[in-house]
Amino acid sequence: MKMKMMILALGLFLSIPGFASATGTTPDPSKGQAEKAPCDCHDGHDMHRDWQAKMAEREQKLLTWVDKYTPEKKAEWTKVLAEKKALHEKWHSPEFAKKHEEWKKQKLAKMQALKKQYDAGKLTKEEFFKKIHGDKDFGHWKTFHDLKTAVDSGDKKKAAENLNLLLAHYKQHNQMMTDMMKK
């Protein structure tokens, strides 16, 4: 009987540290589990530094390719990209906070209505996505991919053509943003 009590006490004694460590501790940064730094976005929207860094890197790639394949349009590209950045910052500024929130609410309401139609079987998946994105044209993603492929393969003509298509897209996007802010 004494032996059973001693084994039970030993078992309990050995299990207590395991229970104590399961009470929710913070990760130890020295063990490679460092917490991600909080987003330092200037206006509280959901865009994070990783995305911002990725977009800055993409912009630098574009300007490098412009230098190489369409150097005569470097000034135009620089102007358009600066305007795009300025419009983005303006759209997310306190000046347009009310308009931006209203736009987001309208977009969310539209998405929820379309989701109900999709769930009810009134829309196919393709129709749902087409209506969700509205008149948004995602061709610029394909154009960017085609541009990257042309650059990788060394096709100067295709690269220049795709750069011109992207430039036109950015101009159109800037005009759309300007129009949204005027409403």
Q: Is residue 29 part of a domain?
A: no
Residues of the chain where predicted confidence (pLDDT) is lower than 70? 1-6, 8-49, 134-140
Cα Rg of the chain (Å, integer): 27
pLDDT number for residue 54? 87
Angle at 48 between CA 42 and CA 52, to 5 degrees: 90
Number of domains within the chain: 1
pLDDT number for residue 141? 73
The domain in which residue 86 lies consists of 48-182
pLDDT number for residue 112? 92
| Model pLDDT for residues 16-59, shown as the tens digit of each residue | 665 555 554 444 444 444 444 444 444 444 545 677 888 888 89
Alpha helices (H) along 26-124: 49-69, 74-91, 97-119
Q: Is residue 28 part of a domain?
A: no
pLDDT number for residue 71? 93
Q: Is residue 93 part of a domain?
A: yes
pLDDT number for residue 143? 83
pLDDT number for residue 5? 63
Of 62, 52, 87, 64, whose CA–CA distance to 167 is shortest? 62
Q: Is residue 158 part of a domain?
A: yes
Q: Is residue 31 part of a domain?
A: no
Q: Is residue 79 part of a domain?
A: yes
| CA 111 – CA 148 distance, rounded (Å) | 33
pLDDT number for residue 55? 84
Contact 63, 77 (CB under 8 A): yes
